Structure formats: C-alpha cells, structure tokens
Structure 1
Amino acid sequence: EELESKERQLKEQVKELESKEKQLDDLVKEFESKERDSQDRVMDLRPGTDRYTLTVKVLSSELVKTIYSDSDELVSCTAECLVGDETGTIIFTARNEQVDLMKPGATVILDNAKIDMFKGRMRLVVDRRGDIEVAKPANFEVREDNNFSLDRYFGYYMVQSLLIFSLKIAVVDAKIYISGHF
C-alpha cells in the first residue's frame, strides 16, 4: 500500500512536470515570436543604412576572392552568400572568419549589419562593429523570388540630374509645340 501511494505521488509529480514543461515550451515559442517580430526583415533594408538585426537562412555561398601570402598562408577571403527570410533575399558579403559561419542551410543572426553598395546594388555586410551568430534552424520559408540585390539604385545627384534633364526636355517640347501653332 505504501508503494502504491509513492507510485501515485510520483505519477502526479511527473504530470505536474510535464505540464510545467509544456508551459515553458509555450513561453519560449511566444518569446521567439516576439523577438522575431522586433527584428528587421530583408524588405526593410535600404541603401546606405545600418544597425540592422536580422535572422536569415543561408541559401548559397561562393568564394569570390582569396589572397595568399608568399608562404601560401591564407591572408584574406571573401564570399558572396545569398541569404534570406520570408520577405526576400539579398547578397551578404562574408569576409575571412565569417565565411566559415555562412554555410548553405545554416540559420544565422546578423547583429549590427549594414548595407554597402556595389555597382549600384545593395550588399548586406557585418563589419567589426557587428556580430554573426549561428542560430538554431528557423521555422520560416525563404521568399526566393524577391532578390533585393538585383534592384539597381542610382545616387541622389544622378536622379536629381535626370529629373532636371527631363524638365528641360519637357519645356523645350512645350515651346516647340506652342511655336508650331502660331
């Protein structure tokens, strides 16, 4: 009888622990959801801006530049990695030890990331003021049909010059049109 009583107590304790474990799992999911909502998304990125925190999946990684010393020691390497979230993708430029972290299939948190421009296109980078952390696999699907690195951006002055040029053409056309009717 005493054994049965202890067995009942243990079963109750197990049920109580399972209940607390479920509550803890729910709290973790809620926290992760809120944390994810407070982070930036790929679609939020703009040319010349910084201080982004993003959780992204690495879709591909390709070494584009490797520099060796005279003694065949690796001095520097650069990789272009396609990363993304549920809003789109962008090319991330990984340098040196960052290259090892950016493996296809990995989920990473990019802290204090910024946007650099390369030939008029956005590139996401994390410099010495930022950090890259390998995270547990994310539970979102990457939107691969929306690559923000394919968009071409023109500098402010170029756009301004194009607008002035367009206005001058419009004025000339208007004068020609008006003079043709007199």
Structure 2
Amino acid sequence: MATPQAPPASNQAPQPATTTEKRKPTFVKVEDLKPGTKGHNVVVKVVRAETISPNRDANNSNNSTNNNNNKPRRAPMSLSHRPARPSRIAECLVGDDSASIIFTARNEQVDVMKPGTTVILRNAKIDMFKSTMRLAVDKWGRIEVTDPASFVVKEDNNLSQVEYELVTVQG
C-alpha cells in the first residue's frame, strides 16, 4: 500500500477558497456624480421619460438644402454602418433627495423607466453629451425595479443642466 504523498511545493501563494464572497455595493447620491466616472450604484426615482427619435440630430443638422452655400451634400451613411435593428432611446429625468440627472435609457431599458418607478442602477456611468452629464447603464450594468422610495426628487438641482468645459493644464 502506497503512502499518500504531499503535493509538490510551489512558489505560488496559497489560493483562496473557491467560493468568492461578493462585496456589498456602495451606493452614492446623485449630487456626488462627476463627469467621466463609472461604476456607480444609485437608487433613483423616475420623474419623467421622453422617447427620442433615433435621428433627432439628423433633422436639425446644417446639411439641409436650405443653406445657400451651394456646397454638395454629403452622401448618406452606408447601410453597413447602421444598426441591425432599430434602437429605442428615451431620456428620463431621474433623481434622489440630493439632485436629479438625465438618464439615457436604451432598448429594453425604456420599458423599465416609467414615471414614478424607483430603480436601482448598478454599475452606472456618466457619459458626456454636448458638454453636459448623462447617466447611463451599459451591458455591464443592471437596472432593477425596487420598492417605491419615500424621498422626493430634488428637481431644482439638475446636474444635466450644468455645462462642463474641458480645460487643458499646461505644466
């Protein structure tokens, strides 16, 4: 009968147990959100939601035939660069008792973001749109409907109305 042998010694540190413990999420207030940041967990209430036409900016562009500069118009974007299915976009005013911000809901998210609903946004990020902040949840984040919150949204502190300017620091 062979005696059991100890595994060969290695220079690696001992591995932790196979069960990983999840960190408890840290929630932030809307007023603490800053441009270009990500990984936020926020509990917000939806104040209003407005569906946006996918080609909203195309209708307002300066490439219309009404400008009298006689320049040829640009060729339309080829079909290969368009999304395979039409996307739905809604701009939703969301917030908590500290501030409010516009949340950009895409596709299935539009159905969840109904006025009066309280949601938990996990792994949310701040996108910049025309020098203003927009809150968004991409494929790495999650939106969960939760029990109605008791707070009143502070609409007079709308972070999406603050215009930011990129400043380069010379050293």
TM-score (normalizing by structure 2): 0.65
Q: 1:85 aligns with which of 69, 72, 96?
A: 96
In the alignment, structure 1 residue 136 sits paired with structure 2 residue 151: no
Q: Deviations over 1:37-93 (max 9, x none)?
A: x411101100000000000000000011248xxxxxx62110000000000100000
Counterpart in the other structure of 1:60: 48
> RMSD over aligned Cα, in angstroms?
2.4
Q: 1:151 aligns with which of 137, 140, 162?
A: 162
> Any stretches of 5+ residues in structure 2 without a counterpart?
1-23, 56-84
Counterpart in the other structure of 1:48: 36
Amino acid in structure 1 at the alignment position of 2:105: A
Q: Which runs of 4+ in 1 moved over 3 A?
A: none
Whole-Å Cα distance in 1 between the matches of residues 116 and 43 of structure 2? 13
Mapping of 1:12-31 within 5 angstroms?
Answer: none
TM-score (normalizing by structure 1): 0.62
Counterpart in the other structure of 1:104: 115
Residue 98 of structure 1: SS of its match in structure 2?
A: helix
Aligned pair count? 121
Q: 2:106 aligns with which of 95, 101, 116?
A: 95
Residue 110 of structure 2: SS of its match in structure 1?
A: helix
Larger RCO (alpha carbons 8 Å, 6+ apart): 2
Identity %: 54
Q: Deviations over 1:83-134 (max 9, x none)?
A: 0000010000000000000000000000000000000000000000000001
Whole-Å Cα distance in 1 between the matches of residues 159 and 144 of structure 2? 23
> Any stretches of 5+ residues in structure 1 without a counterpart?
1-34, 68-73, 162-182
Larger Rg: 1
